[in-house]
Amino acid sequence: MHSLLLLPDSVELACKRLLASQTFLFRQLNNGSSMAGRGKTLGSSAAKKATSRSSKAGLQFPVGRIARFLKAGKYAERVGAGAPVYLAAVLEYLAAEVLELAGNAARDNKKTRIVPRHIQLAVRNDEELSKLLGDVTIANGGVMPNIHNLLLPKKAGASSKSSAADDDS
């Protein structure tokens, strides 16, 4: 078959596949079912189950609720369709990251339940999360364990060598 358009083979192949899939879908939709008066097909007893935008995007966080908050928050006059999906994905990733690190901190402390102290330790020990949540106070998180170098006991081996050098001079 000679094509009238001078397209690369890959683009032409993609167009053919798209056209074939569209004709396949059209045939599947019109598979012997006649249309009833209001657009419903005859013979289909069960209506198609609605799928949430979260499940379409493969997310656990609620895309619809985030979209509602974005619209109600007056952050912008209009909110695009992809914005709440992207924001939900980012929030889900951050939550998973914090929970994973907090779970590791709980396991290090031989605990099975994550408490705010474990979240505090996880966030403050991670460089990027600590930078992101630098000004955030975590309730009941406590403080990071830190002993100033001057307060640490002097090493016995290092102090004896330095005192011996002082005695020689």
Q: Is residue 150 part of a domain?
A: no
CATH of the domain at 135: 1.10.20.10
Residue 33 has pLDDT above 70, yes or no: no
Q: Is residue 62 part of a domain?
A: yes
Q: Is residue 42 part of a domain?
A: no
Q: Is residue 117 part of a domain?
A: yes
Q: What is the pLDDT of residues 7-18, one digit of tens each?
A: 455 555 555 655
Q: Is residue 152 part of a domain?
A: no
Q: Is residue 139 part of a domain?
A: yes
**Number of domains comprising the chain:** 1
Q: Is residue 10 part of a domain?
A: no
pLDDT of amino acid 48 = 87
Q: What is the pLDDT of residues 49-106, one digit of tens each?
A: 999 999 999 999 999 999 999 999 999 999 999 999 999 999 999 999 999 999 999 9
Structure tokens at 95: 């939550």
Per the model's pLDDT, the better-predicted residue between 150 and 5 turns out to be 150
Q: What is the pLDDT of residues 92-108, one digit of tens each?
A: 999 999 999 999 999 99
Q: Give the domain extent around 122.
A: 15-22+54-145
Q: Is residue 157 part of a domain?
A: no
Residue 46 has pLDDT above 90, yes or no: no
